[in-house]
Structure 1
Amino acid sequence: MAKGTILTDLKKARRSGEPVRVSREIDCADRLNAYVVGIGRKWALLHTISDQLHLDGYSAVRLRDIEHATRSGWKGSTMTHHALILRGEHPQPLAGIDLDSTTGLITTLTKAFPLMAVYIERIDPDVCYIGRARGITRKKRLRLQEIGPAADWALTCSSDKTTDITRIDVGGGYIDALHAVGGDPPEC
């Protein structure tokens, strides 16, 4: 699909307030069922819908990676939308999130949320790194202090090129649970 058409579809979905299924041009990348709550020059912000039909945090995905973002092909979109409304769940935009640059996105998400999940799906589609962003180096590498699945903090920071990042999640149930159990990280 042409990139202009995708941007039009994203804007239409944001205006309509209806959920979409977002497919990306990355082998083995998850399809995301979500509401479009923000669009910038480089990133789109989605309020994601869990498999249990609850709003479950946010995903920022690169615009250039999006292949489709429409309700067509997702037969359950209307039912999902109605179920969320009946439960009193409504998509919420996030104020002050910079979707125009990767550095700005990471910086503003770090101020709004204690942890983030970082995906580098073109390199390894099966892994995400969860932790606290500790800044971006001059060589455009994200320093991330990771938290493990047992809510244990690494004492050093990992580093990935910001150009390799394809998706960033914040505020979801699993990420919030890790923070609740692991607390804030020690300095690295």
Structure 2
Amino acid sequence: MAKGTILRDLKRARRSGEPVRVSREIARADRLDAYVVGVGRKWALLHTISDQLHLDGHSAVRLRDVEHATRSAWKGSTVAHRALTSRGEHPQPLPEIDLDSTTGLITTLTKAFPLMAVHIERIDPHVCYIGRAHGVTRKKRLRLQEIDPAADWALICSMNRTTDITRFDVGGGYIDALHSVGGDPPECRCSADRPPVR
């Protein structure tokens, strides 16, 4: 589908306030059932819906990866919308989040949320890294201090090229639970020879 059509679909979904199913041009990547709550020059922001039909955090996906964003691809969209509305759950935009650049997105997500999940689905669609971002280097690599499934913090940051990142998740139930148990990260050693972009 033409990218202009995708952009129109995303903006229409944002205006309508109705949920859509977002499919992306990445082999084996998750489809996301969500409300579109923001569209920038490079990223779209979604308020995602869990399998249990609850709102469950936000996901940012690259516009260039989106293949479809429609209600017609998701037969249960009306039921999901009615169930959420009946429970008083309403999608929340995050106007302070920068969707126009990747570095801006990382910076504003880090200010707004204690943890983020980072996906590199074109390399491995089944893996994500969760942690606290410590900036982007001049070589465009994200420094991430990871927290593992036992809620233990790493003391050294991992690095991923920002061009490899396909999706960020923040504020979901699992991510919030890790933060509740693991707390804020301890001081880490994050490649002092690679200062972050300011």
Query: Shift of the alpha carbon at 1:101?
Result: 0.3
Partner of 1:51: helix, strand, or coil?
coil
Partner of 2:36: helix, strand, or coil?
strand
1:117 equivalent in structure 2:
117
Give the whole-Å Cα distance in 2 for the aligned partners of 1:178 and 1:73: 33
- Determine whether 1:130 maps to 2:126: no
Partner of 2:22: helix, strand, or coil?
strand
Partner of 1:72: helix, strand, or coil?
coil
The amino acid across from 1:12 in the alignment is: R
Give the unaligned 5+ runs of structure 1: none
- Determine whether 1:48 maps to 2:29: no
The amino acid across from 1:36 in the alignment is: V
The amino acid across from 1:85 in the alignment is: T
2:16 equivalent in structure 1:
16
When the two chains are superposed, the root-mean-square deviation of aligned CA atoms in Å is: 0.4
Kindly report which structure 2 residues correspond to 1:1-188, keeping only aligned pairs within 5 A, or say none. 1-188=1-188
The amino acid across from 2:111 in the alignment is: K
The normalised TM-score by structure 1 is: 0.99
Give the whole-Å Cα distance in 2 for the aligned partners of 1:73 and 1:184: 40
The amino acid across from 2:10 in the alignment is: L
Deviation track 1:25-67 (CA, whole Å, cap 9, x = no partner) reads 0000000000000000000000000000000000000000000
Among all aligned residue pairs of Structure 1 and Structure 2, give the percentage whose two residues are the same amino acid: 86
Partner of 1:134: helix, strand, or coil?
strand
What count of residue pairs does the alignment treat as equivalent? 188
Query: Shift of the alpha carbon at 1:21?
Result: 0.1
Deviation track 1:104-162 (CA, whole Å, cap 9, x = no partner) reads 00000000000000000001111000000011101000000000000000010000000
Query: Shift of the alpha carbon at 1:95?
Result: 2.1
Give the whole-Å Cα distance in 2 for the aligned partners of 1:162 and 1:75: 34
Give the unaligned 5+ runs of structure 2: 189-198
Give the whole-Å Cα distance in 2 for the aligned partners of 1:96 and 1:185: 24
Partner of 1:84: helix, strand, or coil?
helix
